[in-house]
């Protein structure tokens, strides 16, 4: 199973994505492409398309609920990085995620949506070699958890 966000994109087409202007200022270490942002107020920019009656980020390549890709993913604003999908790492619901999905007619994510994404733990039991002479102090069996 792939990450649930890759078949969603709802939050990128629901919220106004505002962030401090310095995030688009390379001389200050900013990396958001300035051409994809517009002035929101004296201190903030907004991703183009998100400050609209029906928001949809200009950087979003998606069919909401089917497939989604942020075309500037490594360069996206900090606020985008902070949106947490519900139940990722079993951390419970995320109101931002749930609200955006419901607004697009999608059900809120549930723990089961991550089930196939979990790492499978495999346990290997290593038995100690049989001692030549029983001493009463044989090493115990060791269990090695391996990440699948």
The contact set with ligand SF4 (CB under 6 A) reads: 4-5, 8-12, 17, 47, 57, 59-60, 68, 70, 72, 76, 80, 83, 85, 97, 100-101, 109
Nearer to ligand SF4, 82 or 146 (CB): 82
Nearer to ligand SF4, 93 or 130 (CB): 93
Q: Are strands 44-47 and 18-20 parallel, antiparallel or unpaired?
A: antiparallel
- The distance of closest approach from Cβ of residue 40 to ligand SF4 in the complex, given in angstroms and rounded to an integer, is 14
- The distance of closest approach from Cβ of residue 68 to ligand SF4 in the complex, given in angstroms and rounded to an integer, is 6
- The distance of closest approach from Cβ of residue 77 to ligand SF4 in the complex, given in angstroms and rounded to an integer, is 6
- The distance of closest approach from Cβ of residue 16 to ligand SF4 in the complex, given in angstroms and rounded to an integer, is 10
Nearer to ligand SF4, 42 or 103 (CB): 103
Nearer to ligand SF4, 81 or 119 (CB): 81
Contacts of 30 (CB under 8 A, 6+ apart): 22, 23, 24
């Amino acid at each position: 199973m792939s990450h649930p966000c890759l078949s969603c994109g709802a939050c990128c087409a629901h919220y106004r994505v505002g962030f401090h202007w310095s995030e688009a200022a390379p001389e200050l270490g900013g990396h958001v492409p300035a051409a994809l942002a517009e002035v929101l107020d004296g201190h903030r920019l907004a991703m183009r398309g998100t400050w609209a009656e029906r928001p949809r980020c200009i950087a979003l390549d998606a069919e909401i609920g089917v497939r989604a890709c942020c075309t500037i993913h490594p360069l996206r604003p900090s606020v985008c990085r902070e949106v947490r999908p519900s139940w990722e790492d079993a951390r419970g619901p995320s109101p931002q995620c749930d609200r955006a999905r419901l607004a697009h007619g999608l059900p809120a994510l549930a723990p089961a949506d991550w089930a196939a994404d979990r790492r499978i733990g495999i346990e290997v039991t290593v038995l100690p070699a049989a001692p030549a002479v029983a001493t009463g102090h044989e090493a115990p069996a060791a269990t090695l958890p391996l990440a699948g």
